[in-house]
Amino acid sequence: MESISRAMVGRDRERRLLSEFVTAGSGRSLVLWGETGVGKSTLLDHAAESAEAGSHRVIRASGAEAEWELPFAGLHQFLHPLSSDVDRLDRSRSRALDVVFGRGEGTPSVMTLGIAVLDLLSLAASTRPLLLVLDDGQWLDTPSTGVLGFVGRRLSGSSVKLLAGVRSDVPCGFDTVALPRFAVDPLSSPASEQLLDLHHPGLAPGLRRLILDEAQGNPLALGELPPHVLGARPTLREGQVADNPDLPGYLGVPLPRRLQQVYGTRLEALDDTVRAELLRGALDGVAAGASARQHSPRRRYRMTNAKTAVDGGLLDLDLFSGELVFRHPLVRSTVVQTATPDERRAAHTDLARTHHEDPQRRALHLAASTAGPDEAAAAALEEAAESVTRRGGAVAAVAWLTRAAELSETSGERSRRLGAAAFVAGHAGLLERAQQLALSDTGGIAGESPAAVLASAYTAFYQDGNVRSARCQVRGALEGVRDSGGGTPAEVVARLVALLLAVDQYASDEVAWEDTHGLLASLGDLVPPLARIYQDAWGDVVRRGAGVRERVERAFGGVRTLEPWDLSRLAVAAYHVDGLGPFRPHLERAVEREVRTGAIVPAMTMLHLIMLDRMGCGQWDEAERTGRRILDLTGTHHHPLFAHHTRAYLGLLAAMRGHGDRARELQDTVDTWARPRGIGFLTQIADAIGSAAALAEGDDESAYLHAIGITEPGTFAAYSHQAPRTLLDLVEAALRTGRAAHARRHALAAHEAGLPAVSPRLALITFGALAMTSTDPAEAAEWYHRAERQPAANTFPFELARIRLARGVHLHSTQGPKAAQPVLADAADTFERIGASTWAVRARAELRTTLPSVPNDPQNLKPLTRQERRIADLAASGLSNKEIGARTHLSPRTVSSHLYRVFPKLGITSRAALRDALERLAATPDA
């Protein structure tokens, strides 16, 4: 049989890209983006074929419209073939995966589940590279999309690759997962002609030209339109093509609808029994296209007695499973769209009986089969909603409970179910939906004036965190302002622009930001001067931050004339270039006024900035008190976006202090809320919390995984505000995990990107990173000197102390203990002063190694737990963390974390000193 690779026409560029993708030595992810029928599935087949030929293991999955409301249905397709490996994970990881396999209640955060999936995939790929192929990703359920996005951003350094195909004409969760994209364009004219002649040789020139014009380079159309046209007019002659009003009846109609008409004509030729069979299969999500080649572990309707549909090019026989599957996803959609309501209800009734042992599927089909009140269907939906809520499907649960209320036979049951739907919506952060349900009033449709858009977008953004909806509304309004040629009040334009920039800041999406830059350029002088500062500061200071600090200082010269919202926005710009300090008094005076007058949004923004400045200058107790005050305000005034923003900063503060449990609790809370909404600003901080907490505890591998989730070594991801801020975290984590080359590459990239010119803090950490990663002692000394002599270095005590700690270790190894003592003592004192407890312990331990050789007094050593003692004994015997983990049923990262707590308890700083320390401990009476 002719291979997929040879059958493709005009896809040389795509084939080269996929070949490089498959053969790359390191893990990566890629999303193929394109219109329906453009050939994504064929390219996915080509990649899978190439991978299998290269000894990869390939696992395929496919999204289905019928399953998009079922939490983890898509992820289950990927993980089911790996279920035998789950028991090889440590218990905490395998427990996190229970929700995917339907074995447990309670839902782990995206981060917790994502790390468990990463561990499972790494384990599966330990002997053979692994390629995950996802087709029809636009129909993947929301929880699965979130986890795959998390995983896809962290495959670097593994033997796992993720390749997805997604329709560009259907909004979906992949719009915001921040994975690399590749646009699959229609075929060129020569390639279209070649493909058409290959599959349909001998067409009359006029008909050939018509097909090429109608297909517009779409491979599916090139294959499907000719037989449809010829079938409609078998005696067609060339001269009849151009002016025949009956041919083919779909000219001027969008391409997917043309193809639906093609399939619709074939459906009409089938008898009623076969059409009903296809409808049941379509409504139950029977596989379609390339995804059908892998057996699905989930039970779906099995179509039979449909040979005429196979002959008509609507179905194929899957050789793997022996079942009938749809030839293309568009066939499945057309089957549903061309059915009458009565036909669909009858099909759902049959499917409800088929799935009598699957409560969720039975409930969905039962509800869809019912036109009027039906208490049995309502009860089934309610039961399914309770089940799906426990598995992380709050959005689905709200929809199902709402439908259950509609089907209720009594007003009391209807009211109770609406209340339950509102409760679930409120706990999911869907406040507007919760209010609508509680009041049983959906309200009217807002007008389209800029002022109305502002009101609607503010609600969507600040209350719901709906960055996509808010951005769409505001962008549309600004386009209207531009196209109208004026007339919109300047104040309204300024607010629209500021809101668009604020939404983009929270979304942190490169495509959105670049689109905004283009839109604001087209608005010209309608954009206020201050907004131009926000535009450059709030987005990407690595690429647009040069000179912003000076512009902010000049703008603050007129602080007395600034409105409170511009004061807070300008202060946000100052934060992004680490220049808040001089302006904090203005914020402290203004914030009390704003709270008193009820201007809560500017007030909370100002309090955030005050908190950040206190964190930066080492006033951590005051920073925490400010954060708790903001949380009180967010609770009183119902602002979940600011509440989670505050939790993110409190989590980061807890991580720096070494309060790991508290930091991870806040991290999970923020990530679970923000990631499904595409709020990259907060998910990046969540990753920064994970990195900082892991570094403080000595779990260096986890720190590295979190850090590269923000940006890859040697790069600074565009419009990622945490990418430059976590420079030191990534470098230290890379050094501690033996990735010295990655660390050096990242430090050099910071210098080459010009970070020292953007802000004093970035200068400090860039020079520190260069010093830490240099292999030349003289060069390292020079960079350490430059870092510590930065004029503003002392205003960032935490970063300065970390650099001094590294310098002390460096001096100890190059110049001896005496040279290192004052530097290490200074670092330890600073850590203790600001409250960085675990860092202080580390610095004191390093300092002890420089003191005269006096045996540690066993009486002063802290006792080890039984687990810590066992791990310490195994490490002292020479076993690696991986080997210790195999014996203790712990992950290597958990072993590393235990050892890091053991070292200060024993008064040592390295593995080499374990044996002697344990012998001293054993010599004490209470050991």
Query: Given pLDDT bands bounded at 50, 70 and 90, which one contains residue 251?
Result: very low
Instruction: Please tell me the least confidently modeled range out of 432-441, 578-587, 775-784, 818-827.
Output: 432-441
Predicted pLDDT of residue 873: 85
Both tokens of residue 107?
């839902």
- Show the tokens assigned to 876: 């002292």
Confidence check: pLDDT of 147 > 50: yes
Contacts of 163 (CB under 8 A, 6+ apart): 18, 21, 29, 30, 32, 44, 47, 131, 132, 133, 134
Which stretch of 362-366, 504-508, 551-555 has the lowest confidence by average pLDDT?
A: 362-366
Whole-number Å distance between alpha carbons of 364 and 916: 65
More confident residue, 667 or 392: 667
Query: Is the pLDDT reported for residue 786 higher than 60?
Result: yes
Q: Which residues pair with 61 in a beta bridge?
A: 134
One DSSP character per residue, 578-614 reads: T--GGGHHHHHHHHHHHHHHT-HHHHHHHHHHHHHHH
Kindly report which listed range (62-66, 134-138, 495-499) carries the lowest average pLDDT score.
62-66
* Candidate from 50-59, 361-370, 489-498, 508-517 with smallest mean pLDDT: 489-498
CA-CA distance, 125 to 26, in Å (whole number)? 12
The pLDDT tens digits of the residues spanning 887-900 come to 887 776 677 778 77
Is 101:72 a contact under the CB 8 Å cutoff? no
Q: How many CA atoms lie within 13 A of 525 on its CB side?
A: 2
Whether the predicted pLDDT of 597 surpasses 90: no
Average pLDDT over residues 768-792: 94
DSSP string of 77-118, one letter each residue: HHHGGGHHHHTTS-HHHHHHHTTTTT---S---HHHHHHHHH
Q: What pLDDT, on the 0 to 100 scale, is given for residue 394? A: 65
In angstroms, rounded to a whole number, what is the distance separating the alpha carbons of residues 241 and 261?
19
Mean pLDDT lowest among 433-447, 586-600, 613-627: 433-447
Residue bearing the bigger pLDDT, 143 or 575:
575
Quick: pLDDT tens for 862-876.
678 878 888 888 888
Q: For residue 647, what pLDDT is reported?
A: 97
Residue 390 has pLDDT above 70, yes or no: no
The mean pLDDT of 442-458, rounded to a whole number, is 52
Q: Across 109-123, 286-300, 382-396, 418-432, which has the greatest mean pLDDT?
A: 109-123
Q: What value does the mean pLDDT take over residues 362-387?
A: 85
Alpha-carbon separation of residue 907 from 337, 403, 462, 503, 825 (angstroms): 72, 63, 50, 49, 16
Confidence of residue 244 (pLDDT cuts 50, 70, 90): very low
pLDDT tens-digit series, residues 811-862: 998 999 999 999 999 999 999 999 998 899 889 888 888 877 544 454 555 6
Question: Residue 445: which pLDDT band, with cuts at 50, 70 and 90?
Answer: very low
Instruction: Classify strands 57-62 and 160-167 as parallel, antiparallel or unpaired.
Output: unpaired
Predicted structure pTM score: 0.63
- Residue 435, SS3 per DSSP: helix
Look at residue 130 and give its three-state secondary structure: strand
Give the Cα separation of 897 and 912 in Å (integer): 17
Predicted local confidence at residue 778, as pLDDT: 93
For the residues of 226-242, what is the DSSP string, one character each? HHHHHHH-TT--GGGTT
**pLDDT over threshold 90, residue 121:** yes
> Which residue, chain included where needed, has tokens 């060129």?
188
Q: Over 90: is that where the pLDDT of 762 sits?
A: yes
User: What is the distance between the alpha carbons of residues 499 and 491, in angstroms, rounded to a whole number?
Assistant: 12
pLDDT higher than 80, residue 69: no
DSSP H helices, 338-393, are 341-354, 359-368, 375-390
- What pLDDT, on the 0 to 100 scale, is given for residue 279? 92
> Is the model's pLDDT at 248 over the cut of 90?
no
Q: What is the DSSP letter of 527?
A: S
Highest mean pLDDT among 22-26, 487-491, 597-601: 22-26
Residue 62's beta-bridge partner residues?
135
**Sequence letter at residue 818:** K
Q: Model confidence over 23-48: pLDDT tens digits? A: 988 899 999 999 888 889 899 999 99
Residue 717: its pLDDT value, please?
94
pLDDT exceeding 90 applies to what percent of the chain?
42
217-221, 556-560, 716-720: least confident range: 556-560
- Mean pLDDT score, 791-808: 95
- Range with lowest mean pLDDT among 59-63, 430-434, 614-618, 742-746: 430-434
Span 253-274, average pLDDT: 76
Place 410 in a pLDDT band, splitting at 50, 70 and 90. Answer: confident
* Mean pLDDT value across the chain: 83
